[in-house]
């Protein structure tokens, strides 16, 4: 039997696979092009597409543990529910699902509502699963590091309430630990929810100040204008995705994306250390910029 990891070629999926392989776990990496995928030693690449049901049935054969990670795409809900249904058919009793923090509250944000609908399906069908609810990824800001460094502006419209950003390396660490715990258990474990957050609530002004400190020169906050934010995102992503993210940012402005009081303690317990901070992430990012 083995662990099947979907989203295997993405940043989180690949990191989860590396951690599982390092622990000697039997891992299958789901990919549309297994011939092009460079799997870590001991990892089996498996052909599959979550919109292709026969390929997923084949990929799930002999699997006892599933890591379900979906990209934010227009048919995300179909992909996730179909894969869950096939996992139920295959009798898989060990599941870890990567959802999102505040999916139950941010119902006007499409990709949040999609992930919460999948959570509801897991609950309704009483599937033995760990649901991971990550906050906004720190590594999203790696995509704008050149803008920050070259123009002295932090452009992401985070607002003034605060976002408990999480490092994707911590997400991968918790996901791998959850998969190993379920995979190695003698039977199905109870369903659980773990919120994945960082130790600080970062505002737009706060993020700019941290980048300014790391770069050693002034960095201004670009402000909360959502028209500008949507237009900037649309230069890099499809219009539907830019609008989705605009709605997310609007909720950040109104409510923030804040960790519950116990979330950091739970993270620390699972990780065996404190979650990484945004300040440390920025320092590492700036250091990598100066060495490349």
In angstroms, the CA 241 to CA 229 distance is 12
Q: Which residues contact 184 (CB under 8 A, 6 or more apart)?
A: none
> Which ranges of the chain does DSSP label H, i.e. alpha helix?
11-22, 53-60, 76-89, 110-124, 145-151, 168-184, 204-215, 226-234, 239-255, 263-271, 278-290
Global pTM reads 0.96
- CA dihedral over 107, 109, 114, 119, signed as positive or negative: negative
**How confident is the model at residue 292, as a pLDDT?**
57
165 three-class SS: coil
User: What pLDDT is attached to residue 66?
Assistant: 98
2-5 sheet: strands from edge to edge: 43-47, 27-31, 2-5, 63-68, 95-98, 129-134, 192-196
Cα(8)–Cα(5) distance, integer angstroms: 6
Residue-by-residue pLDDT tens, the chain, 292 positions: 799 999 999 999 999 999 999 999 999 999 998 888 888 889 999 999 999 999 999 999 999 999 999 999 999 999 999 999 999 999 999 999 999 999 999 999 999 999 999 999 999 999 999 999 999 999 999 999 999 999 999 999 999 999 999 999 999 999 999 999 999 999 999 999 999 999 999 999 999 999 999 999 999 999 999 999 999 999 999 999 999 999 999 999 999 999 998 999 999 999 999 999 999 999 999 999 977 5
Compute the distance between CA of residue 106 and CA of residue 247 in angstroms, rounded to an integer.
9
Predicted local confidence at residue 137, as pLDDT? 98
Domains of the chain: 2-135+166-196+260-275 (3.40.50.720)
Q: Which residue's entry shows tokens 């957050």?
A: 197
CA 149 to chain centre: 25
């Amino acid at each position: 039997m083995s662990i099947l990891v979907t989203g295997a070629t993405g940043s989180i999926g690949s990191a989860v696979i590396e951690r599982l392989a390092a622990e000697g776990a039997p891992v299958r990496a789901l990919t549309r092009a297994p011939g092009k995928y460079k799997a870590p030693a001991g990892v089996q690449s498996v052909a599959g597409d979550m919109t292709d049901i026969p390929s997923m049935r084949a990929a799930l054969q002999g699997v006892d543990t599933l890591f379900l990670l979906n990209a934010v795409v227009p048919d995300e809900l179909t992909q996730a529910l179909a894969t869950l249904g096939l996992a139920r058919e295959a009798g898989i009793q060990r599941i870890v699902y990567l959802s999102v923090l505040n999916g139950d509250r941010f119902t006007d944000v499409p990709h949040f509502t999609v992930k919460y609908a999948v959570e509801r399906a897991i609950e309704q069908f009483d599937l033995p699963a760990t649901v991971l609810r990550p906050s906004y990824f720190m590594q999203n800001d790696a995509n704008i590091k050149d803008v920050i460094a070259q123009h002295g502006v932090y452009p992401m419209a985070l607002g003034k309430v605060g976002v408990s950003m999480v490092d994707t390396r911590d997400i991968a660490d918790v996901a791998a630990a959850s998969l190993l715990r379920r995979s190695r258990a003698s039977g199905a474990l109870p369903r659980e929810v773990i919120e994945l957050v960082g130790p600080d609530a970062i505002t737009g002004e706060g993020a700019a100040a941290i980048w300014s400190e790391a770069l050693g020169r002034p960095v201004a906050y670009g402000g909360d204008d959502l028209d500008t934010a949507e237009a900037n995102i649309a230069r890099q992503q499809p219009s539907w995705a830019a609008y989705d993210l605009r709605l997310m940012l609007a909720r950040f402005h109104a409510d923030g994306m804040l960790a519950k009081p116990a979330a950091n303690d739970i993270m620390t317990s699972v990780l065996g250390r404190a979650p990484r901070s945004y300040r440390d992430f920025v320092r590492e990012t700036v250091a990598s910029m100066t060495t490349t």
